[in-house]
Amino acid sequence: GVNLKDYLNVTAVHLFKERWDSNKIDHHTDKYDNNKLIVRRGQTFYIQIDFNRPYDPRKDLFRVEYVIGRYPQENKGTYIPVPVVKELQSGKWGAKVIMNEDRSVRLSVQSSPECIVGKFRMYVAVWTPYGILRTRRDPETDTYILFNPWCEEDAVYLDDEKEREEYVLNDIGVIFYGDFKDIKSRSWSYGQFEDGILDTCLYVMDKAEMDLSGRGNPIKVSRVGSAMVNAKDDEGVLVGSWDNVYAYGIPPSAWTGSVDILLEYRSSETPVRYGQCWVFAGVFNTFLRCLGIPARVITNYFSAHDNDANLQMDIFLEEDGNVSSKLTKDSVWNYHCWNEAWMTRPDLPVGFGGWQAVDSTPQENSDGMYRCGPASVQAVKHGHVCFQFDAPFVFAEVNSDLVYITAKQDGTHVVEAVDATHIGKLIVTKQIGGDGMQDITDTYKFQEGQEEERLALETALMYGAKKTLNTEGVVKSRSDVTMNFDVENAVLGKDFKVTITFQNNSSNLYTILAYLSGNITFYTGVSKKEFKKESFEETLDPFSSKKKEVLVRAGEYMSHLLEQGFLHFFVTARINESRDVLAKQKSIILTIPKITIKVRGAAMVGSDMVVTVEFTNPLKETLQNVWIHLDGPGVMRPKRKVFREIRPNTTVQWEEVCRPWVSGHRKLIASMTSDSLRHVYGELDLQIQRRPTM
């Protein structure tokens, strides 16, 4: 006996969610390859509701509802009834009627800037005397809500448009690696807008069983992300491996971007093999930018990995001056990458918002899981390491002292030298709007030797950072002899020279026994194989200098080479007369050949283009199991091809046809990996034209 037809009945809901609709343009979400509505929180968007009859604001009552998760609750923010209001109030959910014509009502809907980030289901609820009638569940009206760096009330608000363009919207980046003396860069395809990536990033939080109510908080989201990007203890995205054996997986150096990794993780639902620091940082950056948190990848040259967090890296020497690999446990990574995410820190006192260091490379356990951060960069710089999360660890990564200790045969340890300037030599990130390098060392540290540097260290010690050795005052009296050495620019597969120079600054005559030790190392500084060991004696006349050249033949290192071509040299010298020990170390990175990429055809959206990848084997040996990866966000989906072998001096060619779908500045990125040679890259900048209009 009830005629529900008397009540307002929803016939259609329009979300204006096409790529060109203002909902996507104004919210900077038009780049997502996703046909659902994607909006950023705290900002208004438009929807239109068609009813079976005109809406009468005096009699009819309806509201829009957003729901997420299985057990929606209003107090958890997982069930959001949006009231129709006369005026929108900043900071609150609301919907304002901006047009009421015929049977259609157009609403300007505003979300709360603290709202959960994720994929919501949307309903329209109409009041009748018999209860609330809701529209059907329709996947087409599902709405993604993301963080909003454009909104002042949002915790991730970033007030510079150029920075937002770079740190949120740029889907191609540059990661710096190599050595402090020989900085190299490679492009990385973040691909945060590619098809399926947004869903995967949300899936990552689901997989972490992250509480929905915490998903509006960038501190929690980035902390969960730092734990989930590595597979340790939570079945996260990437398995780390540093032992140069990458069976049943892809070598870390082969990846060209994050898309392949994330999509494989989504479809297999198991961790992807393998990653090292730049892969972890690349994938984590995609995760953060995709959800709308401004983020960048940074590289710290000579990064300390301090096992006991005592702000000192111990290098043990044997009595004859040779380095003891048995006792030396701490390691100095040639470089280490991590991420910075931009956000306010309402959980900390004022002044610690802004860039936060977050690191997803599994290094140390933090509250029971392998994760690191977010740690306020400001707090690290000023030594306020008491503020969560993991600030003491990041502080040690950039501030430790290098301590050379001689382990005497009677069991006692003697500090020979302290190098306080080696660690955290340089911290860089990609510059805004270009592929160059931006030095951000001064955001982490005060200038070397400044009064403030000492103050920051004192503050850190006061707030609980440990330092077992008081290094002040142990600086030994300067020796009469100084030693230095240089390594010639070394090309992979070629011989090169190491030159050691001694300078006698006194009127005494000295005889010297010196050791040169050449090691193949991982980028983490861990030595794999000593390939060169040479000792020699020199006699130094008063006030004279002497040079000693040592030739390193290609054959000596080639067969042991690790993927990144890092060679590490230690030179130690003992002066027989004074029993002083001199020690110096240096890493070099071999110059590795490149892959060439060429394109033919119109570089235009929607038209075919042929991509040619070329690689010539420069070595005297045959390369086996050669994988080439090719990637270009917006230009082509990631592809790979295997060549069983490439003979010496032979060139292989691979052609692929692609059809770009994004215009503007794009990049093609290629990487090559084989059993014996890795970290071979190539890239090509492209300007893709818009599709011509008729």
Distance from the Cα of residue 27 to its chain's centroid = 25
Q: Which of 1, 129, 368, 411 binds other proteins (CB under 8 A)?
A: 1
Query: Per the residue annotation, which of 27, 28, 336, 629 is the catalytic one?
Result: 336
Total residues interacting with other proteins, rule: CB under 8 A:
54
**Contact indicator for 445, 399 with CB cutoff of 8 Å:** yes
Q: Measured from the CB atom, is 213 or 325 closer to other proteins?
A: 325
**Minimum distance between the CB of residue 8 and other proteins, rounded to whole angstroms?**
14
User: Which of 437, 189, 260, 228 is closest to 335 using CA atoms?
Assistant: 437
Closest by Cα among 565, 564, 654 to 616: 654
Cα 22 to Cα 37, 157, 226, 462: the distances in Å are 11, 21, 34, 53
Assess contact for 425 and 180: CB atoms under 8 A: yes
Determine the Cα–Cα distance for residues 330 and 628; give it in Å rounded to an integer.
35
Shortest distance (Å) from residue 583 CB to other proteins: 22
CB of 246 to other proteins, least distance (A): 13
Distance CA 435, CA 103 (A): 53
Nearest-approach distance from CB 275 to other proteins, in angstroms: 13
Residue with smaller CB distance to other proteins, 136 or 478: 136
Strands (E), 68-199: 79-82, 94-101, 104-110, 118-128, 131-134, 143-146, 172-179, 182-189
**Dihedral of CA 11/13/16/17: which sign?**
negative
Question: What's the min distance (Å) between Cβ of 693 and other proteins?
Answer: 4
Least Å distance, CB 331 to other proteins, is 6
For other proteins, give the closer residue by CB, 436 or 692. 692
Q: Do residues 286 and 258 lie in contact, with contact meaning Cβ atoms separated by under 8 Å?
A: yes
Cis peptide before 271 (omega within 30 of 0): no
Which DSSP category does 140 fall into? G
Q: Which stretch binds other proteins (CB under 8 A): 12-20, 203-211, 411-419, 482-490?
A: 12-20
User: Binding segment for other proteins among 446-454, 500-508, 531-539, 563-571 (CB under 8 A)?
Assistant: 446-454
Reply yes or no on whether 336 is catalytic.
yes
Pick the stretch among 390-398, 445-453, 553-561, 679-687 that binds other proteins (CB under 8 A). 445-453
Nearest partner of 155 among 357, 438, 352, judged by Cα? 352
Contact call for residue 207 and other proteins (CB under 8 A): no
Give the one residue of 162, 326, 350, 368 binding other proteins; rule: CB under 8 A.
Answer: 350
Judged by CB under 8 A, the residue of 90, 137, 551, 601 near other proteins is 137
Query: Do residues 142 and 153 lie in contact, with contact meaning Cβ atoms separated by under 8 Å?
Result: no
Question: 337 an active-site residue?
Answer: no
Window 366-385: contact mask with other proteins (x via CB under 8 A): ------------x---x-x-
Question: Segment 379-438, which members bind other proteins (CB under 8 A)?
Answer: 382, 384
In the range 86-125, which residues lie near other proteins by CB under 8 A? 89
**Nearest approach, Cβ of residue 372 and other proteins (Å):** 13
Q: Which 53-92 positions form the footprint of other proteins (CB under 8 A)?
A: 89
Is residue 459 within the footprint of other proteins (CB under 8 A)? yes
Residue 524 interacting with other proteins (CB under 8 A): yes
Answer yes or no: are the C-beta atoms of 528 and 584 closer than 8 Å: no
Sequence-ordered list of residues with C-beta below 8 angstroms from that of 192, at least 6 positions apart, any chain: 171, 198, 201, 258, 286, 289, 290
Shortest distance (Å) from residue 537 CB to other proteins: 35
Residue (463 or 627) nearer to other proteins, CB: 463
443 vs 378: CA distance, rounded Å: 7
Residues 282-341 that bind other proteins (CB under 8 A): 305, 307, 331, 333
Least distance (Å) from other proteins to the CB of residue 57? Answer: 19
Work out whether 242 is an interface residue with other proteins (CB under 8 A). Answer: yes
The residue whose two tokens read 């919501």 is: 120
Percent of residues in the chain assigned helix, strand, coil, to nearest 5: 15, 40, 40
Residue 53 is classified by DSSP as S
Give the pair of three-digit tokens for residue 82: 């949006």
- Catalytic entry in 154, 260, 359, 631: 359
DSSP 304-353: EE-TT-SSEEEEEE-TTS-B-TTT---EEEEEEEEEEEEE--TTS-TT--
DSSP-assigned letters across all residues of 163-205: HHIIIII--EEEEEEEETTEEEEEEEE--TTSTTHHHHHHHHH
One residue of 125, 461, 526, 662 binding other proteins per CB under 8 A: 526
Active site residue 382: no
Annotated active-site residue in 115, 201, 277, 658: 277
Interaction site with other proteins (CB under 8 A): 1-2, 4, 12, 14, 16, 18-21, 35, 48, 89, 130-131, 133-139, 231-233, 235, 240, 242-243, 305, 307, 331, 333, 346, 349-353, 362-364, 378, 382, 384, 446, 451-452, 455, 459, 524, 526, 693-694
Catalytic residues: 277, 336, 359
